[in-house]
Amino acid sequence: MRKIATLLLSAGLVASATTAIASSPKEDLEKFRAYFEQKFPGLQLDDFGNGAYALDADKRMQWEAMEEFPPYDEFVDKGREIWEKPFKNGKSFADCFGKDPSKVRVRYPHWDAKTKQVVTLEGDINKCLKENGEKPFKWKKGPIAWLSAFFGYEARGQKINVVIPDDPDAIKAYEHGKHFFYAKRGQLNMACADCHVKYPGHFIRGNLLSPALGQVTHFPVYRAKWAKKSKDGDGLGTLHRRYGGCNKQVRARPFKAQSKVYRDLEFFHQYMSNGLTINAPGYRE
Amino acid sequence: MRRSNHRFSGTVGSLLLVAGMVITGQAAAAEDPISAGKKLAFDRKKGNCLACHHIEGGTLMGNIAPPLVAMKHRFPDKAKLREQIWDATKNNPRSIMPPFGKHRILSEKEIDLVTEFIYSL
Amino acid sequence: MMKKTIISVGLALLIAGCSASQPEKPMSLKEQYEAALARTQAAVEKAASMEGEWRDIRWKKSKKRYLPKAIEAAKAGDYEKALKLLSIAEFQAEMGYKQAMAEKNAGPHLYGL
């Protein structure tokens, strides 16, 4: 009897080891969400969009006070100005993204079957500028983050809805991002998943680690840490700016914002938060 | 010939020994291994143990990993404790603890000192 | 017979090994540096090809930048310093590559999901 059980068990182990690699995005998403819901049984799905603040009452109170007069408002307004200002050729961002700015954020990131790559919102902002003879923005902060934050703000209340098409190249990009997320890297030997899957809700020094589920809903993010570093209190930064910061902290060489690696990571990372409500931009420490 | 040589090396040897004692004696006067180890353990750019562990006397401590107390009880063999600091992934490949020796985050000497400090807790 | 052959082959290898490891002329510091630089650069590219490069080898915003600083030291004629820095860079590159290889099959199954 025991022998049979052992046999079954080892067969199961082998099976799970192989299926873990061959699982579909949909299966990954179900397991991912179930894991976090089990880990934090008191939370509703959308609570995860509030990150660490959903997990700690004291921090949540301070945060809610900040969100009453949010320091990112003036930068969202700057984003709106950029949206409204025509290019030198008379056209504007509306010619690239459509007239309704509230319908932009939910289309990203997406797979582009023609170029066989992941297209991000920031990528298309600069593409639009270039196609209209304008100088592209810098990738991580400033105007690109303002405009992206404006699109996020306009899309508040809508749900993340990333589509991974049944195209081997799209699956490959998704798998690449997924692998990046779970692989240990850098001199400190840490994976994204070490902090944000295994230990969310724990403190690392004075910082409460956020769950990976729901991280993308509030990006671009306004970080007090970034505001302090800037001259004019602009703490807004893009998702890829944050990726770079995380990689640097584990002493891995960060990749460039909008590199293939980070676009693929974003594809996986955003997909894992499908169904969560967009609440960008968010305020974070 | 042989004898004088022997005597010579003996003199050099004891001279070196004396010099060694003087040097270590001075270092010990400046700082004992436990407090030197504590400095490294608390330094954010060195051990940064407080990022994850509770240690008496620390501030802004993390709670990812077990508090560092009763270490002699948990690691009766100091060498085992040193191994854990040197490469925690040997026991658990997915451990979040950085492999301080394997990845040369700390030098061997620094690991000795940190071990002394942690062992004293 | 068999044993004898093995022993003599072993001896031959040993002798060959010894003579190979004894260069006719000792390498100058500059030559050592040039060899170490080539080795390190290859190791860094290998780590980078696996997305396994560490922060402090050559990234422009790192304060340490062991590899470019080694090159600077060599340009200033300080080959000893250059070699020291290169040995750190080479170690980090090799470890980054090893780490990436060890993580080749990383995925959610390792995290209980």
What per-residue confidence (pLDDT) applies to C25? 76
Residue C1 has pLDDT above 80, yes or no: no
Q: For an interface test with B, which of C57, C94, C99 has the most B Cβ atoms less than 10 Å from its Cβ?
A: C99
Residues of B contacting chain C (CB within 8 angstroms): 94, 102-104
Angstrom CA distances, B46 to A105, A131, B42, B49, B50, stand at 42, 49, 8, 9, 11
Give the CA distances from residue A181 to residues A74, A178, A247, in Å, rounded to whole numbers and listed in that order.
33, 5, 11
Q: In chain C, pLDDT over 90 holds for what percent of residues?
A: 75
Q: Which amino acid, one-letter code, is at A182?
A: Y
Of all residues in chain A, the percent with pLDDT exceeding 90 is: 84
Q: Residue C24: is its pLDDT beyond 70?
A: no
Q: Is the pLDDT of residue B2 over 70?
A: no
Higher pLDDT, C49 or A18: C49
Task: Answer yes or no: is pLDDT of B81 > 80.
Answer: yes
pLDDT of residue B18: 42
User: For the complex shown, is ipTM > 0.85?
Assistant: yes
**What is the per-residue pLDDT for B30?**
63
Mean pLDDT of A55-80: 91
Tell me what pLDDT residue C35 has: 98
Residue with the larger pLDDT of the pair C24 and B81:
B81
Kindly identify which residue of chain B lies nearest to residue A203, measuring between CA atoms.
Answer: B62
Please work out, in degrees rounded to the nearest 5, the angle formed at the alpha carbon of residue B8 by the alpha carbons of B2 and B12.
145
How many whole angstroms separate alpha carbon B103 and alpha carbon B105?
Answer: 6
Q: What is residue A22's predicted lDDT score, i.e. its pLDDT?
A: 74
Instruction: State mean pLDDT over B86-98.
Output: 97
Instruction: Name the pLDDT band for A12 (thresholds 50, 70, 90).
Output: very low
Interface probe with C: pick from A18, A19, A171, A185, most Cβ of C within 10 Å: A185
pLDDT by residue (tens digit) across B12-40?
444 444 444 444 444 445 689 999 999 99
Longest dimension (CA), chain A: 79
Whether C95 and B94 lie within 8 Å, measured CB to CB: no
Query: In the predicted model, what is the mean pLDDT of residues A26-44?
Result: 95
Chains that touch C (3 or more CB pairs under 8 A): A, B
CATH superfamily of the A25-70+160-284 domain: Cytochrome c-like domain (1.10.760.10)
- Report pLDDT for A54: 85
Judge: domain B31-119, CATH 1.10.760.10. yes
Predicted confidence (pLDDT) per residue in C70-98, tens digit: 999 999 999 999 999 999 999 999 999 99
What was the pLDDT predicted at B22? Answer: 43
What per-residue confidence (pLDDT) applies to B46? 97
B2 or B85: which carries more pLDDT confidence? B85
The better pLDDT of the pair A52, C101 is held by C101
Position B19 scores a pLDDT of 43
Structure confidence at residue A21 as a pLDDT band (50, 70, 90): low
Taking an 8 Å cut-off on Cβ atoms, the answer to whether B63 and A205 are in contact is no
The domain segmentation of chain A, as residue ranges, is: 25-70+160-284, 73-154
The pLDDT of residue C21: 54
Instruction: Give chain A's end-to-end CA distance (angstroms, integer).
Output: 56
Confidence check: pLDDT of C14 > 80? no
Structure tokens at B11: 């003199």
* Burial (CB count within 10 angstroms: exposed 0-12, middle 13-18, buried 19+), residue B58: middle
Q: Is residue C54 helix, strand or coil?
A: strand
Query: pTM of the entire structure?
Result: 0.86
Cβ of A202: how many Cβ atoms within 10 Å? 18
- Range of weakest confidence among A41-45, A100-104, C17-21, C64-68: C17-21
Task: Determine the average pLDDT of the residues in A142-150.
Answer: 98
Contacts of B60 in chain A (CB under 8 A): 205-206
Q: What is the pLDDT of residue C63?
A: 97
Task: Determine contact: C54 vs chain A, CB below 8 A.
Answer: yes
Average pLDDT for chain A: 92
- Closest Cα in chain B, distance from residue A178 (Å): 17
Give the pLDDT of residue C40. 98
Inspect the interface and report whether the beta carbons of A205 and B61 lie closer than 8 Å.
Answer: yes
Active site residue A128: no
Instruction: Identify which has the larger pLDDT, A30 or B30.
Output: A30
- Fold (CATH) for A73-154: Cytochrome Bc1 Complex; Chain D, domain 2 (1.10.760)
Q: DSSP string covering chain A, please?
A: -HHHHHHHHHHHHHHHHHHHHH--HHHHHHHHHHHHHHHSTT--GGGGGGGGGGT-HHHHHHHHHHHHS-TTHHHHHHHHHHHHSPPTTS--HHHHH-S-GGGTGGG-SEEETTTTEEE-HHHHHHHHHHHTTPPPPPSSSTHHHHHHHHHHHHTTTSB------S-HHHHHHHHHHHHHHHS-BTTTTB-HHIIIIISTTSEETTEEPPPSTTGGGG-SEEEHHHHHHSSS---EE-HHHHHHHHHHHTTBPPPPTT-HHHHHHHHHHHHTTTTPBP--SEEE-
Q: What is the pLDDT of residue C23?
A: 54
Least-confidence region, from A39-43, C41-45, C101-105 = A39-43
Rounded to an integer, the average pLDDT of A65-90 is 95
- How does pLDDT run across A151-160, given as a tens digit for each residue? 999 999 999 9
Q: What pLDDT, in 10s, does the model give residues A46-65?
A: 999 998 888 888 889 888 88
